């Protein structure tokens, strides 16, 4: 093994297949060299035997990954080569496959622009790993292919958690395969909560189950946040926080109030005014009700992370992937994860009403197959071999992402990770961003109205009216107002 990272795995081929076409032995041995550029562990040399008269197919995979934690996003495809070739040999298929990988931490928007330009030049990768929300744009542009007709050929995909398939559906078809996902829990500081009147150890320890049962609502959470402020447990504005910038977390709350973002029949975006009003009223109450939340005035490193990890906020919304980040960067001197398990709790976003369903929101990263791929079946075969307990668990543990497979809940290496095991159930309650090309302006418009509510510049009703006006002006017939 040799350590390296941003790899371009090049197949170095000689003209041996021409020379040996009519000679024994009946295979040509091809050595695939992997040049070193950064730091990860992948095989340096791999030998692929190509039957005489057969074809060596190079599958190009482009993955967005943060090294070294997320390197298995593409490394698992490299690791799958031997298994795919064994299956091809067993089936009497004379093709053999090697993988050419390009992987780095390019921003989402940049990698999608890169893909579009490569496609225009006729050089798109066979496999693209990116966020699921780009599916609508790529499908409409004709740059990716639907996979429904091929998925049934690979039993590995039957093991994917059913709800995750919703994230890759656009206009009734599945356009990708989930590679990883996460949940967005609500966290709470147990040491602060214990100081709020009416909260004892038993109630604190049972809170996650009460949320799951629909007995503890969003309103109850604000009641508790306000009580903490009134009792002097935390400063005004520190009762409940969310992320300090626009992002998917806010959509989870809109969903909690019954909101919809996409029309299944037409694929158009939807804004529900009744749900939107409740959503903005929730944040409006935070401004007027003893300052339960004042998070939008902060930033990540200077405010959000040190405040939520420093026992200054009672409840906060965050990502499951941030658990390890907090342990490494913010609570390490206190004991890291051990400290967090002892002093923090976590659960779903509470239901909007008693007896309702709690929610979370996930942002699956997915494998897409280019419409320019000459061998989409081989691309999908590689993806299938990367969709196993072993492959996905090593990625999940290294990157603190959730498993995507039904069987991972009982897979011992996954079960051994306490936090990942604890929050896996949240995928049963998860929601997703819509796969629509116009999501960007929709998200910006609804968030800017939220920010105006929290600064007191707009009432909740005024925010709804402004959102409707701006969405109609920006999207015209592409938005449905309900």
Binned average pLDDT, 10 residues per bin, the chain of 482 residues: 38 35 41 38 62 93 92 97 98 97 94 98 98 95 98 98 95 96 97 98 98 98 95 94 93 98 92 99 82 77 95 96 92 97 99 97 98 99 99 94 96 96 94 94 97 92 99 98 98
Q: Are residues 418 and 323 in the same domain?
A: no
**Could you tell me if 307 and 372 lie in one domain?**
no
- Measured distance CA(393)–CA(399) in Å, rounded: 10
Do 88 and 226 share a domain, yes or no? no
- 316, 458: one domain: yes
Same domain membership, residue 118 and residue 157:
yes
SS3 (DSSP) at 169: strand
pLDDT at 213: 98
Provide the pLDDT for residue 19.
34
Q: Around Cβ 189, how many Cβ atoms within 10 Å?
A: 24
Same domain, 443 and 470: yes
- What is the structure's pLDDT at 291? 65
- Which helix (H) or strand (E) segment is 100 a member of? strand 95-104
Do 81 and 21 belong together in one domain?
yes
Give me the CATH number covering residue 467.
3.40.190.10
Same domain, 97 and 201: no
- Would you state the pLDDT for residue 52? 86
Longest dimension (CA), the chain: 87
Question: Is the pTM for the entire model greater than 0.85?
Answer: no
Q: How far, in Å, are 338, 407, 421, 444 from residue 418 at the CA level?
A: 11, 16, 5, 36
CA distances from residue 133 to 130, 191, 392 in whole angstroms, order as listed: 9, 38, 21
Other beta carbons within 10 angstroms of residue 438's beta carbon come to 18
Q: For position 21, what pLDDT does the model report?
A: 35
Q: Which domain holds residue 247?
A: 186-361+438-481
């Amino acid at each position: 093994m040799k350590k390296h990272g941003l790899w371009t795995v090049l197949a170095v081929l000689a003209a041996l297949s021409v020379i040996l076409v009519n000679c024994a032995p009946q295979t040509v041995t091809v050595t695939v060299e992997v040049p070193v550029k950064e730091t990860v562990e992948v095989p340096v040399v791999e030998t692929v035997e190509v039957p005489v008269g057969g074809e060596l197919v190079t599958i190009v995979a482009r993955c967005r990954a943060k090294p070294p934690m997320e390197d298995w996003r593409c490394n698992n495809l490299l690791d799958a080569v031997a298994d795919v070739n064994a299956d091809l040999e067993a089936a009497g298929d004379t093709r053999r496959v090697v993988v050419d990988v390009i992987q780095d931490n390019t921003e989402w928007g940049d990698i999608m622009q890169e893909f579009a330009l490569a496609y225009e030049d006729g050089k798109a990768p066979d496999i693209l790993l990116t966020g699921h929300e780009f599916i609508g744009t790529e499908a409409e542009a004709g740059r990716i292919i639907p996979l429904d007709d091929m998925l049934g050929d690979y039993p590995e995909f039957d093991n994917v958690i059913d709800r995750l398939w919703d994230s890759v559906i656009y206009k009734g078809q599945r356009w990708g395969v989930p590679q990883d996902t996460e949940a967005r829990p609500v966290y709470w500081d147990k040491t602060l909560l214990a100081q709020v009147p009416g909260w004892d150890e038993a109630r604190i320890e049972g809170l996650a189950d009460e949320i799951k049962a629909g007995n503890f609502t969003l309103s109850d959470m604000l009641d508790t946040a306000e009580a903490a402020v009134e009792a002097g447990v935390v400063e005004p504005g520190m009762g409940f926080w969310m992320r300090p910038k626009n992002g998917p977390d806010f959509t989870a709350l809109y969903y909690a109030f019954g909101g919809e973002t996409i029309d299944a029949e037409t694929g158009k975006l939807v804004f529900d005014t009744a749900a939107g009003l409740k959503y903005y009223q929730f944040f409006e109450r935070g401004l007027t009700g003893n300052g339960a939340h004042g998070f939008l005035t902060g930033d990540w490193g200077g405010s959000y992370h040190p405040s939520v990890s420093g026992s200054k906020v009672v409840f906060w919304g965050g990502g499951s992937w941030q658990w390890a980040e907090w342990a490494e960067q913010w609570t390490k001197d206190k004991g890291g994860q051990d400290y967090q398990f002892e002093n923090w709790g976590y659960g779903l976003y509470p239901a909007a009403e008693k007896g309702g369903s709690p929610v979370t929101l996930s942002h699956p990263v997915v494998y897409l197959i280019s419409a320019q791929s000459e061998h989409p079946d081989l691309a999908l075969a590689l993806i299938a071999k990367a969709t196993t307990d072993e492959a996905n668990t090593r990625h999940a543990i290294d990157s603190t992402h959730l498993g995507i497979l039904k069987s991972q809940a009982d897979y011992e290496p996954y079960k051994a990770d306490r936090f990942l095991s604890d929050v896996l159930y949240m995928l049963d309650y998860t929601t997703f961003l819509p796969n629509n090309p116009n999501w960007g302006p929709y998200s910006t418009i609804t968030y800017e109205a939220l920010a105006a509510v929290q600064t007191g510049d707009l009432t909740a009703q005024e925010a709804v009216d402004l959102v409707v006006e701006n969405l109609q002006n920006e999207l015209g017939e592409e938005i449905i107002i309900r």
